[in-house]
Structure 1
Amino acid sequence: MPEQGSVAVLIPCYNEAVTIGKVVDDFRRVLPEATVYVYDNNSSDGTGEIAREHGAVVRCERRQGKGNVVRQMMRDIDADYYLMVDGDDTYPAEAAPELLAPLVADEADMVVGDRLSNGTYGEENDRAFHGFGNDLVRVLIKWIYGFEFSDVMTGYRAYNAVFAKTMPVLSPGFEIETELSIHAVDKRWRIAEVPIDYRDRPEGSESKLDTFSDGCKVLLMILSLFKDYRPLALFSWVSLLFCVLGLVAGVPVIAEFLATGLVPKLPSALLAVALVFIGILSFTCGLILDTVVKGTRKQYELQVTEAYREHGRR
Structure 2
Amino acid sequence: MRIAVLIPCHNEAPTVQKVVADFRHALPEAEVWVFDNASVDDTADLAAQAGARVRRVSAKGKGNVVRAMFRDVDADIYVMADGDDTYPAASARVLIQDVADGRADMVVGTRLESHDHASFRRFHGFGNRLVRGCIGALFGHPVRDVLSGYRVFSRRFVKSMPVLSRGFEIETEMTVFALSNGFVLSERTIEYGTRPDGSESKLNTYRDGMRVLKTILFLFKDMRPLLFFGVLSLLCVLAGLGFGAFVIHEFTQTGLVTHPSTAVLAVAFTLVGVVALATGLILDTVNRRSNEILRLITDQVLARDRSSE
CA distance in 2, matches of 1:311, 1:147: 32
Distance 1:259 1:312, change over 3 A: farther
**Partner of 1:82: helix, strand, or coil?**
strand
State yes or no: 1:186 paired with 2:183.
no
Pair 1:18-2:10 in alignment: no
Counterpart residue number, 1:134: 128
Contact 1:12–1:40 at 8 Å: present in 2 too? yes
Whether contact under 8 Å (1:162, 1:307) holds in the other structure is no
Corresponding residue for 2:79? 83
Deviation at 1:304, TM superposition (A): 3.2
What residue in structure 2 maps to residue 49 of structure 1?
45
In 1, Cα distance between equivalents of 2:180 and 2:304:
23
Indicate which of 119, 126, 133 corresponds to 2:114.
119
Equivalent position amino acid for 1:27 in 2:
F
2:105 is the counterpart of 1:109: yes
Q: Deviations over 1:171-190 (max 9, x none)?
A: 01111100110111111111
CA distance in 1, matches of 2:114, 2:74: 35
- 1:249 pairs, out of 226, 243, 247, with 243
1:165 is aligned to 159
- The one-letter code sitting in structure 1 at the alignment partner of 2:274 is I
Corresponding letter in the other structure for 1:204: G
Q: Hey, what's the Cα distance between the residues in 1 that align with 2:174 and 2:145?
A: 12
Deviation of 1:271 after TM superposition, in Å, equals 1.1
Partner residue, 2:4 = 8
2:15 is the alignment partner of 1:39: no
Q: How far did 1:129 drift?
A: 1.3
1:311 shift after superposition? 4.6
Rounded to whole Å, the distance in 2 between the matches of 1:311 and 1:158 is 20
Q: Give the alignment of 1:263-274 within 5 angstroms.
A: 263-274=257-268
Q: Does residue 99 of structure 1 match 2:95?
A: yes
Query: What is the one-letter code of the residue matched to 2:30?
Result: A
> Residue type of the partner of 2:119?
N
Task: Indicate the RMSD between aligned Cα atoms, in angstroms.
Answer: 1.4
Pick aligned residue for 1:289 from 283, 287, 293: 283
Counterpart of 2:214, as a letter, is L
Partner SS for 1:133? helix
Per-residue CA deviations over 1:35-85 (Å, capped at 9, x if unaligned) read 110011110111101111111111100111000011011111101110000
In the alignment, the residues of structure 1 paired with residue 228 and residue 253 of structure 2 have an alpha-carbon distance, to the nearest angstrom, of 38
Q: Which amino acid aligns with 1:36?
A: V
Which ranges of structure 1 fall in alignment gaps of 5 or more residues?
none
Instruction: Number of aligned residue pairs: give it.
Output: 308
The more displaced of 46-55 and 123-132 is 123-132
Q: 1:209 offset after TM fit, Å?
A: 0.4
Using the alignment, how far apart are the partners of 1:276 and 1:311 within structure 2?
52
Supply the distance in 1 between the matched residues of 2:286 and 2:270 (Cα, whole angstroms): 25
Any gaps of 5 or more consecutive residues in structure 2?
none
In the alignment, is the contact (CA less than 8 A) between 1:161 and 1:311 conserved in 2? no
TM-score with structure 2 setting the length:
0.96
Q: Tell me, in whole angstroms, the C-alpha distance in 1 between the residues paired with 2:306 and 2:133.
A: 33
Q: 45, 57, 67: which one pairs with 1:61? A: 57
**Deviation sequence 1:287-307 (CA, Å, 0-9, x none):** 111111111121122123224
- 1:199 paired with 2:193, answer yes
CA contact (8 A) 2:114 2:190 kept: no
Aligned residue for 2:123, secondary structure, equals helix
Structure 1 length normalisation: TM-score? Answer: 0.95
Distance 1:99 1:119 in 2: 16
Does the 8 A contact of 1:80 with 1:311 survive in 2?
A: no
Q: Measure the CA separation in 1 of the matches of 2:174 and 2:273.
A: 32
> How far did 1:128 drift?
2.8
Cα drift, residue 125 of structure 1? 2.4
Deviation of 1:136 after TM superposition, in Å, equals 1.1
